[in-house]
């Protein structure tokens, strides 16, 4: 067992933002990791029935695990990734041929500050499972995968998937690993939706549920931004109804979609603090319609350029649409959120951030109030932050304290 106070972290430098991060040899890092593959529903007689209709199989799922599963198999923590996340939540990717190698080689997993020996999700205590959702392009079956029935990429013939489908796939992964009850499930943004659905759809199987920067549904504005992003992709001449894998990809459309989404991840305060109205490398504007004039434009352009090198446009369509469809009140309470929350049999912590306008505090409070009315054990924290929706990934110190405290509750208290 590691003691947090007694560890000295070995640091390296992140090439993207200059921040110090742990190296793979740090005693608080899970070290070098390699993704695993699991094939589910490969039997023709036992294909996966999709909520939107039809069946799918076989389904390949990429996942990573950290720590050791206890003999009683009662120490599992499921980590659910966000929209453009993957199974590589912690440690350093050792696979030189992985699709994200260039992106990963300078930085550890997307939640490495939270997961590891002695960290908030302590891999000295917990067995952590993070699986990539089907529909993504990061190792699990999705539109960029080859359809075994045709020998060609699925493209938009890949069936529509839902958050409910993802929860069932997560459960199938746990079943294959021999895990029934899990100590905890945690997720932010889209991952928060999956975490919530896991707890709602399998009462009693999840002891502790932690949701960050997410609610029981998207806001109307969230739906609108997703719709514009998808239309940007589908309007790109290279889209070709989603069957573009043998030629040019619709990267212009995906670039615009990413720029738009990036704005929703920030806040007015964070953008003003980081960029303001500063011009890019000049004191007076060039008065051009097509060039980059402001620092904010340069930032959005950089984010888009980096994103299109690693993400599939079709996957963006599928994942955002799944987020749109999710409404826990409709799925589990016939439109009544309190009735839906009555199905929760977990201890719950909901965390929102003051400047998040994708999943604003008001939306999170609505879910918390429903949990209170349903007489469920729930705690709620609204963290003052200028970082907008991205705060659950940026405000590492406060998130680490909350996660560590929540998952450190003794088993007897958690069951009480």
Q: Which residues are catalytic?
A: 189, 356, 389
- Give me the residues paired with residue 22 across strands: 11
- How far is Cα 131 from Cα 129, in angstroms, rounded to an integer? 7
DSSP 98-135: -TTHHHHTTS--TTTTTEETTSSEETTT-EEEEEPPTT
Phi then psi for 79, rounded to 5 degrees?
-110, 125
Residue 149: Cβ-neighbour burial (10 angstroms; 0-12, 13-18, 19+): exposed
- How far is Cα 376 from Cα 196, in angstroms, rounded to an integer? 14
First-to-last CA distance in the chain? 26
CA torsion, ordered 287, 291, 296, 300, to nearest 10 deg: 160
Q: How far is CA 307 from the centre of its chain?
A: 15
Tokens of 67: 């720590």
Contacts of 284 (CB under 8 A, 6+ apart): none
Q: Are 87 and 136 in contact (CB under 8 A)?
A: no
Q: Are 133 and 187 in contact (CB under 8 A)?
A: no
- How far is Cα 407 from Cα 79, in angstroms, rounded to an integer? 13
Contacts of 72 (CB under 8 A, 6+ apart): none
Does 58 sit behind a cis peptide bond, omega within 30 degrees of 0 on the bond before it? yes
Q: Are 170 and 80 in contact (CB under 8 A)?
A: yes
Q: 3-state DSSP helix/strand/coil percent for the chain, to nearest 5?
A: 35, 20, 45
The residue among 183, 95, 157 whose CA lies nearest residue 409 is: 183
Q: How many CA atoms lie within 13 A of 57 on its CB side?
A: 15
- How far is Cα 19 from Cα 103, in angstroms, rounded to an integer? 16
What's 327's DSSP letter? B
C-alpha angle with apex 293: 289 to 296, nearest 5 degrees?
120
């Amino acid at each position: 067992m590691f003691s947090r106070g007694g560890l000295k972290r070995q640091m390296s430098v992140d090439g993207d933002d200059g921040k110090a991060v742990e190296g793979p040899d740090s005693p608080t890092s899970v070290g070098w990791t390699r993704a695993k593959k699991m094939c589910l529903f490969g039997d023709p007689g036992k294909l996966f029935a999709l909520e939107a209709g039809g069946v799918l199989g076989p389904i390949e799922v990429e996942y990573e695990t950290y720590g050791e599963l206890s003999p009683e198999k009662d120490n599992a923590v499921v980590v659910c990734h966000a929209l453009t996340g993957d199974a590589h939540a912690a440690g350093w990717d050792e696979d030189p041929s992985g699709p994200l190698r260039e992106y990963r080689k300078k930085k550890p997993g997307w939640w490495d500050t939270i997961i590891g020996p002695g960290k908030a999700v302590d891999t000295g205590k917990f067995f952590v499972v993070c699986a990539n959702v089907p529909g993504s392009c990061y190792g699990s079956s999705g539109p960029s995968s080859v359809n075994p029935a045709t020998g060609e990429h699925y493209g938009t013939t890949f069936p529509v998937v839902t958050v409910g489908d993802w929860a069932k796939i997560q459960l199938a992964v746990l079943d294959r690993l021999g895990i029934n009850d899990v100590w905890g499930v945690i997720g932010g943004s889209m991952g928060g939706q999956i975490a919530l659905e896991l707890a709602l759809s399998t009462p009693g199987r999840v002891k502790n549920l932690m949701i960050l920067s997410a609610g029981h549904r998207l806001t109307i504005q969230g739906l609108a931004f997703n719709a514009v992003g998808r239309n940007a992709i589908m309007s790109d001449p290279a889209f070709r109804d989603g069957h573009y894998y043998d030629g040019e990809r619709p990267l212009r459309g995906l670039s615009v979609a990413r720029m738009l989404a990036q704005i929703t991840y920030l806040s007015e305060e964070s953008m003003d603090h980081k960029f303001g109205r500063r011009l890019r490398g000049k004191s007076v504007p060039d008065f051009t319609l097509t060039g980059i004039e402001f620092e904010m434009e340069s930032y959005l352009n950089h984010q888009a350029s980096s994103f299109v090198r690693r993400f599939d446009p079709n996957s963006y369509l599928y994942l955002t649409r799944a987020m749109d469809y999710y409404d826990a009140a409709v799925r589990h309470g016939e439109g009544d959120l309190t009735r839906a929350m009555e199905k929760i049999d977990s201890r719950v912590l909901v965390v929102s951030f003051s400047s998040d306008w994708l999943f604003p505090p008001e939306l999170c409070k609505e879910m918390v109030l429903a949990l209170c009315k349903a007489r469920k054990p729930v705690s709620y924290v609204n963290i003052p932050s200028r970082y907008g929706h991205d705060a659950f990934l940026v405000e590492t110190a406060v998130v680490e304290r909350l996660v560590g405290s929540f998952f450190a509750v003794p088993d007897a208290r958690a069951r009480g």
